[in-house]
A and B are shown apart, each in its own frame.
Chain A
Amino acid sequence: MSTTFWIILAGAVATYLTRVGGHLVISRFETVHPRVEAGLNAVPAAVLTTLVAPAALGAGPAEWAALIVTALVSLRGGLMAMFLGGAAVLIVARQFVG
């Protein structure tokens, strides 16, 4: 087997450990403390924000316009409308500001 194959396999095992590990740790406790539950409830917004904020900061006017439109659409529409609206604005804006 090549080195590449072993890198892929080890990477796959490492990734699966992250996906199952949090549950294995948490499930050892009988009851979940309210503060831990509050922390778990904060996970989606906390993690997803880190995937947006630095990218938004390093971006330009076209990307900002797309994000603003995404936010505005989110007040009324669903996820798909939000995504398509933001993507459309991005593609159009990029034709002008690169």
Chain B
Amino acid sequence: MTAEAISESRARSDFWDGVRLSMPVVVASAPFAILFGAIAVDNGFSVLEAFLMSALIFGGASQMVGIELFGQHVAPWLIVLSIFAVNFRHVLYSAGIGRRMAHWPLLQQALGYFILTDPQYAVAEARAASGRSVGFVWYLGLGLPVYVFWVAESALGAVFGKMIPDTHALGIDFLLPIYFLGLVLGFRKRPLWLPVVVASAAASIIAYKTVGSPWHVSIGAIAGVLLAVILPPHHSGVGKRT
């Protein structure tokens, strides 16, 4: 094989490696995409608008909140601010994952940040933690199926929204917490994992009961991150190299 053929076949296997890892995300997010489309139309969106919102924002929870507020005829600027608030946690993902993507060409980075969702971040970060490099092709393999299915299923939900059976009996409202718990546990070998999880859980629950949703996400996350910053570096395992 020529060097080109070898690198091409490696890129292909990297891509499919990413696609394989995207499958649980595709399965877990499918009900929400369909549900989003259905609710969007129910709240006065057209099918095209539901499709556009999924294609341009690509953030499930923020889209749900946006639709809900739109249905309640809240002022447009407040809807946009709420979408921003729900998505604010991505600032942390962005700061964290930037280290892994810094060697990509600029355009690839710009696209990479566009598809930076919760699972995308967590799975990419887990790959980096296992010592493998996060390449663009692998990252795209992970994110592209999620994006394509998300957008297509949103449109599908908007068209066929009224036909969804009993969503509660199928448990689809609780699929994402289960998936996210799996991701949290996947990071359990990291230094400070338990104190961070306890701090974030406590802070997010308190914030949820007092300040309310969606701010509990950012407040809880900042509590856990601050704890890791405040604790002496020899506990967090990063000061060894200096």
> Interface residues, chain A, CB within 8 Å of chain B?
2-12, 14-27, 32, 34-57, 59, 62-63, 66-67, 70-71, 74, 79-80, 82-83, 86-87, 90-91, 94-95, 98
Partner of A34, one of B66, B179, B204, B239: B239
| 0/1 interface trace, chain B 66-95, chain A, CB 8 Å (1 if under) | 100010000010011101100111111111
Q: Are B178 and A48 in touch, CB under 8 angstroms?
A: no
A71 to B184, CA, bound (A): 10
DSSP majority for the A interface?
Answer: helix
Q: Are B183 and A16 in touch, CB under 8 angstroms?
A: no
Task: Give the top 7 A-B pairs by smallest Cβ distance, nearest first.
Answer: A46-B224, A22-B94, A22-B95, A23-B98, A50-B220, A42-B228, A38-B236
Q: Are B91 and A21 in touch, CB under 8 angstroms?
A: yes
Are A87 and B118 CB-contacts (below 8 A) given A15-B59, A41-B238?
A: no
Complex interface: chain B residues within 8 A of A35 (CB): 229-230, 233, 236
What's the count of A-B pairs with C-beta under 8 Å? 287
Complex interface: chain B residues within 8 A of A95 (CB): 169
Are A22 and B28 CB-contacts (below 8 A) given A48-B118, A49-B197?
A: no
A14 to B94, CA, bound (A): 14
Complex interface: chain A residues within 8 A of B83 (CB): 11, 14-15
Q: Are A16 and B184 in touch, CB under 8 angstroms?
A: no
Q: Are B180 and A51 in touch, CB under 8 angstroms?
A: yes
How far, in Å, is B215 (CB) from chain A's closest CB?
Answer: 10
Is the CB of B148 closer than 8 A to any CB of chain A?
no
Are A66 and B91 CB-contacts (below 8 A) given A11-B53, A16-B113, A46-B221?
A: no
Q: Are A22 and B93 in touch, CB under 8 angstroms?
A: yes
Partner of A80, one of B23, B62, B99: B23
How far, in Å, is A62 (CB) from chain B's closest CB?
Answer: 8
Closest Cβ neighbor of B177 among chain A residues: A55
Complex interface: chain B residues within 8 A of A94 (CB): 168-169, 171
How far, in Å, is A60 (CB) from chain B's closest CB?
Answer: 10
How far, in Å, is A49 (CB) from chain B's closest CB?
Answer: 4
Within 8 A of A (CB), among B178-206: 178-187, 190-193, 196-197, 199-205
Q: Are B62 and A15 in touch, CB under 8 angstroms?
A: yes
Closest Cβ neighbor of A25 among chain B residues: B95
Q: Show 9 A/B contacts (Cβ-Cβ < 8 Å), sorted by A.
A: A4-B46, A9-B56, A11-B79, A38-B229, A44-B184, A45-B196, A46-B224, A59-B177, A86-B182
Q: Are A39 and B229 in touch, CB under 8 angstroms?
A: yes
